[in-house]
Amino acid sequence: MSATAMTAAQVARKIMDNQPLFILDVRNGDAFADWKIEGGNIQYLNIPYFDLLDGVEEVIDQLPKDRDILVVCAKEGSSIMVADMLAEEGVETAYLSGGMKAWSEHLEPVKVGDLKDGGELYQFVRIGKGCLSYMAISGGEAAIIDATRMTDVFLNFAQEKGATIKHVFDSHLHADHISGGRHLAEATGATYYLPPADAKGVTFEYEALESGFEAGIGSSKVEALYTPGHTIGSTSFIVDDQYLMTGDILFIDSIGRPDLAGLAEDWVGDLRESLYQRYQALTDQLTVLPAHFMIMDELNEDGSVAKKLGELFKENHGLNIEDEQEFRDMVTKNLPPQPNAYEDIRKTNMGQITPEDEMQREMEIGPNRCAVR
């Protein structure tokens, strides 16, 4: 008996279907505490691989017999070693193919709705890191919002759907992950749009994304709405008067943090105005589609991350703080740690540095940490 591989896609499916899973995570304790595979029906055991080099006998007693066991490490090498050792003792497990790096890169496309005249809207759930990208397709044309750097996924998906990518948008200059927007535009001849206020240090050509701008794809339209606060340029999108992409300003169970570009105190007023005035002026019936989720509870049963704006005004704590000072304190004090390598990620997204692929993977390790709750 030897260990079998389980792909990130298979693990993502299990989690979205809420199937039971036992994860034996053999990374060191700090790495596990910082970031792990999350899910509603997962049990965990964290023992670093280097504590198992003399044998796995002591672990066997701690493993369940009634659910699948997945051995996880950073890149897969150590998990294969441990899974093989367990196999020799007669314990059947799988290891995560490609480790947490593959987990971080996996994108799961989920359909979030129909657009008019047979168009479709898809959300790409980066389940390991909590990033959400969007593709609207109509009449053989596609628009993409907040693409991650795994551009092949978007290119292949558009091709399968027989759509030409026309417009590529970033809601803001991202600090937690490397944008695929510019490369997608280069690969397809599409136009790449960035909010100009976020693009001061950008080294490449882009189209300025101004509030009120409208782009058409097939029978559908994507409108830009300026909603600063997470960054000074942060822009939301409204698709066909039905869907509201909120970027990193408003999430399902939290709101954006204003400090990742270093100016929390300056931008807190903008953030409040975007959340409490600009969004308030929109119809409650819009479906909010954020650029991130932080916890698995934010996923709907079908794996999508979406909720009506009206419901968020009732339920989201960050939209219900009447006192301005209290709001100010919440978003500027006691903030969670910043995302891994966020300064280098911003520089990469501005084109100021061009790290190799392996380095880009390393930079993105860990959760996104773009919210304050």
Partner 1 sequence: MNVDKVLDAKGLACPMPIVKTRKEMKDMNSGQVLEIQATDKGASADLTAWAKSGGHELLEEQMDGDVLKFWIKKG
Q: What is the crossing angle of helices 264-273 and 324-332, to 10°?
A: 130
Q: Whole-number minimum distance, CB 347 to partner 1, in Å?
A: 19
Q: Whole-number minimum distance, CB 349 to partner 1, in Å?
A: 22
Total residues contacting partner 1 by CB under 8 A comes to 16
303 is a site residue for partner 1 (CB under 8 A): no
- Compare residues 56 and 184 and give the one whose CB is closer to partner 1: 56
What is the pairing mode between strands 94-96 and 4-6? parallel
- Compare residues 326 and 358 and give the one whose CB is closer to partner 1: 358
Q: Which two tokens stand for residue 39?
A: 């899910």
Q: List residues bridging with 192 in a β-sheet.
A: 168
Q: How many other CB atoms are there within 10 angstroms of residue 261's CB atom?
A: 19
Alpha-carbon span 191 to 215, nearest angstrom: 10
Is 131 noted as a catalytic residue in this protein?
no
From 56, 71, 78, 121, residue interacting with partner 1 (rule: CB under 8 A): 78
What is the pairing mode between strands 42-46 and 120-126? unpaired
Q: Whole-number minimum distance, CB 364 to partner 1, in Å?
A: 13
Site map 30..69 versus partner 1, x via CB under 8 A: xx----------------xxxx-x----------------
Find the angle CA(126)-CA(132)-CA(136) to the nearest 5 degrees: 120
How many residues are listed for the chain in this entry? 373
Q: Whole-number minimum distance, CB 282 to partner 1, in Å?
A: 45
Alpha-carbon span 319 to 272, nearest angstrom: 9
Query: DSSP characters for 109-127?
Result: EEEEEEPGGG-EEEEEEET
Q: Which residues contact 66 (CB under 8 A, 6 or more apart)?
A: 20
153 is a site residue for partner 1 (CB under 8 A): no
- Compare residues 286 and 363 and give the one whose CB is closer to partner 1: 363
Q: Whole-number minimum distance, CB 14 to partner 1, in Å?
A: 25
From 1, 4, 17, 29, residue interacting with partner 1 (rule: CB under 8 A): 29
81 is a site residue for partner 1 (CB under 8 A): yes
Q: What is the crossing angle of helices 151-160 and 181-188, to 10°?
A: 50
Q: Whole-number minimum distance, CB 63 to partner 1, in Å?
A: 20
- What DSSP designation does 63 have? S
From 6, 73, 168, 194, active-site residue: 73
- Compare residues 78 and 220 and give the one whose CB is closer to partner 1: 78
337 is a site residue for partner 1 (CB under 8 A): no
Alpha-carbon span 342 to 296, nearest angstrom: 23
- Compare residues 51 and 329 and give the one whose CB is closer to partner 1: 51
Positions annotated as catalytic residues are 73
Binding site for partner 1 (CB under 8 A): 28-31, 48-51, 53, 73-75, 77-78, 81, 362
